[in-house]
Amino acid sequence: MTTTQETEDQSKPGPLVGVRVIEVGDRIGEYCGLVLAGLGAEVIKVEPPEGAESRRMGPFVDDVPDPEKSLHFWTYNRGKRSVVLDLDTDDGRSGLEELVAGGDVLLDATPVGYLDERGLGSATLRGRLPELVVARMTPFGEEGPRKDWKASDLVHLALGGQVMNNGYDPNPSGEYDLPPVAAQLDHSYAVAGEQLAFTVIAALISRRRTGQGQHLSCAVHEALAKNTEGDLMSWVCLRTPFNRQTCRHSAPNVSIHRSIFQTKDGRWILASTRNAKLLGPFLEKYGIGDEISDGSDEKTKDSRVLPGMEGGAARNMDAVEHTVRRYLFEDVPWREAQEAGLMWVPVRKPHESAYDEHWLQRGTYGDIEHPELGRSLRYPLSKWIATETAWVKPDPAPRLDQHGDLRTTITPRPLERSSLIVPERLSQHGQPWALQGVRVLDFTWMLASAGATRFLAALGADVIKVEWHKNLDPRRGGNPVGGREAREAATGPVPSQWPADLGGPVGAQYNNKNPGKRGISLNVKHPKGLEMARRMVAESTIVAEGFSPGVMESWGLGYDELRKIKSDIIYAKQSGMGTAGIYGRFRTIGPVAQAFAGTSEMSGLADPFPPAGWGYSYLDWYGAYSFALAILSAVYHRDVTGEGQAIDASQSEVGIFMTGVPALDYQVNGREWQRAGNRSPYATAAPEGLYKAKGHDRWIAITCANDADWVALAKEAGHIEWLSHADFATAADRHRNRAALDRLIQTWTAEQEPFGLMQRLQAVGIAAGVAQTAQDRVENDPQLASLEWLTELDATNFGHWPVAAPSVKMCDTPQYAGGQVGRGAPIYGEHNYEVYEELLGLSRDEVDELAEEDAI
Catalytic site positions: 186
DSSP letter for each residue of 548-614: STTHHHHTT-SHHHHHHH-TT-EEEEEESS-SSSTTTT----HHHHHHHHT-GGGSSPSTTSPP---
Q: Give the C-alpha separation, 185 to 164, whole Å.
A: 18
Check if the beta carbon of residue 140 is closer than 8 Å to that of residue 128.
no
Torsion angle defined by CA atoms of residues 680, 780, 622 and 21, in that order, rounded to the nearest 10 degrees: -80
- What lies within 8 Å, CB to CB, of 84 at 6+ separation is 46, 47, 48, 49, 51, 400, 401, 404
With helix as H, strand as E and coil as C, how does 793-841 read?
A: EEECCCEEEEEECCCEEECCCCCCCCCCCCCCCCCCCCCHHHHHHHHHC
DSSP 504: S
Angle between helices 618-641 and 590-597 (to 10 degrees): 80
Provide CB contacts within 8 A for 430, sequence distance 6+.
none
Task: Considering only the C-alpha atoms of the chain, give the largest distance between any 2 of them, rounded to a whole number of Å.
Answer: 85
Query: Which of 146, 144, 98, 136 has the alpha carbon at shortest distance from 115?
Result: 136
Look at the alpha carbons of 796, 798, 801, 804 in this order and tell me if their dihedral is positive or negative.
negative
DSSP 8-state symbol, 727: G
843/168 Cα distance (integer angstroms): 56
User: Please, which residues bridge with residue 542 across strands?
Assistant: 440, 570
DSSP string, 141-171: -SSSTTTT----HHHHHHHTTTGGGSS----
Residue 117: partners with Cβ closer than 8 Å, 6 or more residues away: none
Neighbours of 25 (CB within 10 A): 23
Cis peptide bond upstream of 480, omega within 30? no
Nearest residue to 626 (alpha-carbon basis) of 38, 164, 222:
38
